[in-house]
Amino acid sequence: MAKKAHRRERREQSLSRDRIIAASIQLLDRRGERGLTFRALSERLATGSGAIYWHVANKNDLLTAACDALVVRTMNQTVVTTPKATIRAVALGLFDVIDEHPWVGSALTSALGLSPIVRILERIGQQIRALGVADDEQWAAVGTLMAYILGVSRQNAANRQLARARDLDRSDFLEEVSNAWSKLDPKEYPFVRSVVAQIRDHDDRVDFLAGIDLILMGIDSPRRRRRPRR
Amino acid sequence: MAKKAHRRERREQSLSRDRIIAASIQLLDRRGERGLTFRALSERLATGSGAIYWHVANKNDLLTAACDALVVRTMNQTVVTTPKATIRAVALGLFDVIDEHPWVGSALTSALGLSPIVRILERIGQQIRALGVADDEQWAAVGTLMAYILGVSRQNAANRQLARARDLDRSDFLEEVSNAWSKLDPKEYPFVRSVVAQIRDHDDRVDFLAGIDLILMGIDSPRRRRRPRR
DNA sequence: ACCTGAACACCGTTCAAGT
DNA sequence: ACCTGAACACCGTTCAAGT
């Protein structure tokens, strides 16, 4: 008599950091942020939960690594042309990854000085330099763009997740939001009520790029008080 | 013989949503995001964990409510003067609350259409209107500012938390980041390496306001191609 | 109407023990 | 060196039962 009636078939590939990260991305995509679990992961990888800790420090490390993998992929996909076009491409690339993988948005906050953020800073920074922005203003410019890109992308992703959680598609969701906003007290919320119409049929990606252009315009326009003649 | 040797003294005040929210804020401030627990909360409020569910739908509801309480307070504290000054004041107010209560940053993402976000949109929107921005461009302007404010504040808060977790003060933390960045490959990371010096002695609040001004400049500057003469 | 607290179905992380 | 899986110390949420 065999010791175990039906032993689990052993995984064919041996465990590795990369395989763990790939499985994590799948889990996060398919089941959301709360779907990434050491139990779910070890089941999917046909291993013990403790084995994962041999390749990965902890859950946070795992999340950052998954994030970084996607950021690297995105950066490699954007072609470098003129500075402004490149900035737009990087921005849109990040917007789209976060739209597709909403968990990237929240994970990306975690640590300045950590690789995914640094990669993005570098990419944008090089373009800001190419634009001829003064040395001592480069940091502010890059920081502003960075904050904007992550800020909008994250908010967009949050909305999508909210919609998905309630089984609504994009337009149903916007419908619901604009309905809720229409019911606000017009005395207390005149502005929000006045943009209800705009909310309903706006295009997130277009708005996003409009904001980028707004910031690029600010970067380009003369600092200080008076405008130098051209 | 008494049934219980030392019965727990009963709370003097009866439970209420407000008291629960106040206690949650304290817990979040003192012990961080992971310190908000129904068990910790019920102990602090001298009640059963289930009792809290009578006043609050679930943990997410609780988090949003705590968030909203602080946003309301902040909005009430900012004085309205000129449009741009008001925008700066609102922005700085939010920056500071999030700096002081880092968990507000992450909780604020959650839901468009939910009160704290709507409150902020309204406040900024009214100023954008007062600036005379065209109707169909107001939404983009407000959205950009909003994303920027939340984006930077959140990143700042994340850094502070990271520093606190490692028992470093601000300058030690920046020291560490700039050290790490100095070690990056200069061929791969020329930009990041060139701004290492700026990172070390920059003032977050000043940079933050510089970004706001950058965006306000963009909002003010003529759209389309050509500049109208003044 | 409001509160209690045990019970349920989960977590991340550790670690002695195996190969 | 790498893996196993039980054990530990937690979670959020529910719910019969109490007042």
Residue-by-residue DSSP string for A197-210: HHHHT--HHHHHHH
Q: Count the Cβ atoms, other than its own, within 10 Å of residue A4.
A: 7
Let me know whether B72 and B11 are in one domain: no
pTM of the model: 0.87
- With respect to residue A163, please indicate whether it lies within any of the assigned structural domains: yes
Mutate to test the interface with B, among A214, A220, A221, A229 (most CBs of B within 10 A): A214
A9 and A73 housed in the same domain? no
Q: Rounded to whole angstroms, how far apart are CA atoms A39 and A49?
A: 6
Beta carbons of A141 and B214 less than 8 Å apart = yes
Q: Report the pLDDT value the prediction gives residue A172, as an integer from 0 to 100.
A: 84
CB pairs under 8 A between A and B: 180
Same domain, A50 and A128: no
pLDDT value of position B4: 33
Question: What single DSSP character describes residue A114?
Answer: S
Q: Position of tokens 């409510």?
A: B65
pLDDT of residue B160: 81
Residue B40 tokens read as 């910790």
Q: Which pLDDT score is estimated for B95?
A: 96
Mean per-residue pLDDT of chain B = 85
> What tens digit of pLDDT does each residue of A101-112 get?
999 988 886 565
Handedness of CA A61, A69, A118, A159 (dihedral sign): negative
Q: A160, A38, A32, A162: which is closest to A103 by C-alpha?
A: A32
Contacts within 8 Å (CB) and 24+ apart, B173-179: B174/B199, B174/B200, B174/B201, B175/B200, B176/A113, B177/A112, B177/A113
Residues B135 and B216 in one domain: yes
Contact, B196 vs B181, CB < 8 A?
yes
Residue in B141, B140, B144, B149 with CA at minimum distance from that of residue B78: B149
| Residue closest to C4 C1′ by Cα | B48
Q: How far is A7 from chain B (nearest CA, A)?
A: 39
Contact A147 B110 (CB under 8 A): no
Best mutation target, A144, A149, A172, A202, to test chain B (most B CBs within 10 A): A144
User: In the structure encoding, which two tokens stand for residue B70, read together?
Assistant: 């602080």
Q: In chain B, where does DSSP find H-type helix?
A: 17-31, 38-44, 49-55, 59-77, 83-100, 103-109, 115-130, 135-165, 170-182, 190-194, 196-200, 204-220
Give the pLDDT band of residue B228 (cuts 50, 70, 90): very low
Interface of B with A in 2-41 (CB under 8 A): none
Number of structural domains found in chain B? 2
Asked whether residue B104 is domain-assigned, the answer is yes
Q: Is B218 on the interface with A (CB under 8 A)?
A: yes
| Residue that terminates a domain, selected from A56, A76, A98 | A56
Q: Is the CB of B162 under 7 A from strand C?
A: no
Q: Is the pLDDT of residue B88 over 60?
A: yes
Q: Which residue has the tokens 């999508």?
A: A160
Contacts of A113 in chain B (CB under 8 A): 176-177, 180-181
CA of A34 to C1' of C18 (A): 32
What pLDDT is attached to residue A11?
Answer: 56
**What tokens were used for B112?**
């468009």
Q: Are A169 and A78 members of one domain?
A: yes
> Angle, to 10 degrees, between the axis of helix B135-165 and the axis of helix B115-130?
130
* Rounded distance in angstroms from the CA atom of residue A38 to the C1' atom of nucleotide D7: 16
Residue A6's pLDDT is: 36
A85 and A158 both lie in a single domain: yes
pLDDT at B176: 84
Whether residue B139 sits in one domain with residue B118: yes
Q: What is the CATH number of the domain that holds A14?
A: 1.10.10.60
d(C-alpha A180, C-alpha B113), whole Å: 7
Which residue does chain B place closest to A219, by CA atoms? B214
Q: Residue A127 and residue A34: Cα distance in Å, rounded?
A: 37
Return the pLDDT at A45.
96
Q: What is the pLDDT of residue A129?
A: 94
Question: Do both A93 and A49 map to the same domain?
Answer: no
Q: B91 with B205, same domain?
A: yes
Enumerate residues 175 to 204 of chain B having a beta carbon within 8 A of any beta carbon in chain A. 176-177, 180-181, 184, 188-192, 194-195, 198-199, 202
A148 plus A83 within the same structural domain: yes
Instruction: Kindly determine whether the C-beta of residue A89 is less than 7 Å away from any atom of nucleic acid strand C.
Output: no
Here the tokens at position B84 are 């741009």
Q: Which of residues 90-119 of B touch A (CB under 8 A)?
A: 105-106, 109-113, 118
Q: How far is the alpha carbon of A223 from chain B, nearest alpha carbon, in Å? A: 9
A-chain CB neighbours of B122 within 8 Å are 188-192
The verdict on B49 and B74 lying in the same domain is no
A122 close to B (CB below 8 A): yes
φ, ψ for residue A56 (rounded to 5)?
-140, 140
Residues 6 or more apart whose Cβ sits within 8 Å of residue A75? A90, A93, A119, A120, A123
Reported as half-sphere exposure (CB side, CA atoms, 13 A), residue B147 has a value of 34
Measured CA to C1', the nucleotide nearest B51 is C3
A146 at B interface, C-beta within 8 A: yes
Which residue range is the domain that position A183 belongs to?
Answer: 63-225
Task: Tell me how far apart the alpha carbons of residues A136 and B194 are, in angstroms, rounded to a whole number.
Answer: 10
Quick: pLDDT tens for B210-223: 889 988 988 887 64
Same domain, A47 and A70: no
Quick one: closest CA in B to A195, which residue? B139
Closest residue (CA to C1') to nucleotide C15 in the complex: A50
CATH number of the domain at A131, please.
Answer: 1.10.357.10
Is A230 a member of any domain? no
Range of A155-164, B63-72, B132-141 with top mean pLDDT: B63-72
Collapsed DSSP state (helix, strand, coil) of residue A140: helix
